């Protein structure tokens, strides 16, 4: 079945016996991992997680159904997590959906499959599966997502509070989820006892990475300003600060610089290019310096490395901040 976010989160928080498979497809791996975390929490602290991946299922298509039907060695709850799945996992997923029994739910992360692909189609057509597309939300979608998350947590959020969470998360759905959960806990809110949530409550729990701080960090990285980068990272080093919004902003910055550098290499002047891209006047000097320092191949390589590191951050869990800071510092030093 094709799931809405509300339907998916409800099923993950209280896994129904008739759902065997949760297929999370689309490029937003951060939110997919956040959904895995919800299922893990619902399964209980002592639950056993069995990790598989796409290549394993390709070489052994029966493995997924076998693991779903297997009993835990100590009798605890058990669930499966499949990462890096693609269309090659179709046979394994089909075997799971048609198996006689499967007591352990499986969540499959398939970031590269298309919504029109056979894997997604198989999940949508089955009553034993929920399929959900994980894509970074647009501005309008982000407001609806935060409002829905808040409603499910028992919060009546003001428009200002909603926008503040969107700015602080930079559109990252997993960060939105965490901030809403923190706010609900702080206000002791629940669906059966809803509470009004204003911006003052967000200030009290520090639930925001300032948009300006993200911009300063990204500018420092692409300009090779190591000292400024270190200062920016220290200001953002709160216990719950997520590096994902920084990497999303860095990706956009690198893409813009690549487009601008391409125009410069085609013969257009740096000042003319910056004017056409409407660079903010305070950022003109650092942008011009970056355009002269970076090459187009280097910008392309940096984009690929940033995307790869974002996936590593997600997989690293609590250690993701160390992975992020190390990459940003190395990139800034390489630019310098």
Q: Tens of pLDDT along 296-307?
A: 999 999 999 998
- Predicted confidence band of residue 206 (pLDDT cuts 50, 70, 90): low
With DSSP H G I counted as helix, E B as strand and the rest as coil, what are the percentages for the chain, rounded to 5?
60, 10, 25
Q: What is the CATH number of the domain that holds 31?
A: 3.40.50.300
Q: Which of 133, 159, 188 is the last residue of a domain?
A: 133
Give the pLDDT confidence score for residue 105 in this predicted structure: 95
Which residues, in sequence order, are CB contacts of 296 under 8 Å at separation 6+? 258, 261, 262, 265
- Domain hosting 109: range is 5-133
Q: 41 with 70, same domain?
A: yes
Q: Across the chain, what does the average pLDDT equal?
A: 87
pTM over 0.85: no
Distance in angstroms (rounded) separating the CA atoms of residues 104 and 66: 10
User: Does residue 144 register a pLDDT over 90?
Assistant: no
Q: 102 with 193, same domain?
A: no
Residues 235-268 have pLDDT tens digits of 876 655 678 888 888 988 999 999 999 999 999 8
Give the HSE-up count for residue 92: Cα atoms under 13 Å, Cβ half-sphere.
28
Q: Which of 29, 19, 26, 87 is nearest to 54 (CA)?
A: 87
- Predicted confidence band of residue 160 (pLDDT cuts 50, 70, 90): confident
3-state secondary structure 193-251: ECEEECHHHHHHHCCCCCHHHHHHHHHHHHHCCHHHHHHHHHHCCCCCCCCHHHHHHHH
Q: 161 with 275, same domain?
A: no
- Predicted confidence band of residue 208 (pLDDT cuts 50, 70, 90): very low
Q: What percent of the chain has pLDDT over 90?
A: 45
Of 7-21, 156-170, 294-308, the range with the lowest mean pLDDT is 156-170
Q: 11 with 109, same domain?
A: yes
Give the mean pLDDT of 282-295: 88
Q: What is the CATH number of the domain that holds 182?
A: 1.10.8.60
Phi, psi (rounded to 5 degrees) for 193: -145, 70
Give the mean pLDDT of 147-164: 88
Task: Count structural domains, the chain.
Answer: 3
Q: Which of 133, 166, 183 is the last residue of a domain?
A: 133
Q: 245 with 201, same domain?
A: no
Q: 68 with 156, same domain?
A: no
Give the pLDDT confidence score for residue 27 in this predicted structure: 84
How many C-beta atoms lie closer than 10 Å to residue 308's C-beta? 11
Q: Which of 205, 221, 255 is the last residue of a domain?
A: 205
Q: 189 with 128, same domain?
A: no
Q: 223 with 163, same domain?
A: no
Q: Which of 265, 331, 253, 332 is nearest to 296 (CA)?
A: 265
User: Does residue 97 register a pLDDT over 90?
Assistant: yes
Residues 12-22 have pLDDT tens digits of 999 999 999 99
Residues 42-65 have pLDDT tens digits of 998 888 999 999 999 999 999 999
């Amino acid at each position: 079945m094709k799931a809405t976010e509300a339907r998916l989160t409800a099923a993950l928080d209280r896994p129904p016996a008739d759902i065997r498979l949760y297929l999370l497809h689309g490029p937003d791996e951060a939110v997919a991992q956040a959904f895995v975390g919800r299922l893990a929490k619902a399964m209980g602290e002592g639950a056993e997680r069995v990790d598989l991946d796409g290549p394993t299922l390709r070489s052994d298509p029966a493995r997924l159904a076998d693991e779903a039907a297997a009993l835990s060695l100590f009798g605890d709850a058990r669930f499966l997590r499949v990462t890096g799945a693609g269309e090659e996992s179709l046979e394994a997923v089909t075997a799971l959906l048609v198996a006689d029994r499967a007591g352990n739910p499986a969540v499959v992360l398939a970031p590269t499959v298309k919504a029109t692909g056979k894997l997604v189609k198989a999940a949508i057509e089955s009553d034993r599966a929920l399929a959900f597309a994980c894509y970074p939300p647009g501005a309008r979608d982000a407001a609806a997502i935060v409002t829905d998350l808040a409603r499910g947590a028992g919060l009546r959020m003001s428009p200002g509070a909603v926008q503040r969470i969107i700015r602080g998360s930079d559109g990252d759905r997993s960060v939105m989820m965490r901030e809403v959960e923190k706010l609900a806990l702080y206000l002791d809110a629940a669906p059966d006892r809803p509470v009004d949530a204003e911006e003052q409550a967000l200030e009290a729990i520090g639930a925001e990475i300032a948009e300006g701080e993200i911009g300063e960090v990204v500018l420092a990285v692409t300009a090779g300003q190591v000292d400024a980068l270190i200062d920016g990272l220290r200001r953002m080093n709160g216990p719950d600060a997520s590096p994902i919004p920084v990497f999303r902003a860095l990706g956009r910055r690198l893409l813009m610089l690549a487009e601008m550098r391409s125009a410069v290499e085609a013969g257009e002047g740096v000042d003319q290019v910056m004017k056409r891209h409407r660079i903010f006047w305070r950022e003109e000097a650092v942008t011009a310096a970056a355009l002269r320092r970076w090459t187009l191949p280097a910008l392309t390589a940096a984009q690929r490395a940033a995307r790869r590191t974002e996936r590593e951050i997600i997989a690293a869990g609590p250690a993701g901040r160390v992975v992020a800071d190390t990459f940003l510092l190395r990139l800034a030093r390489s630019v310098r």
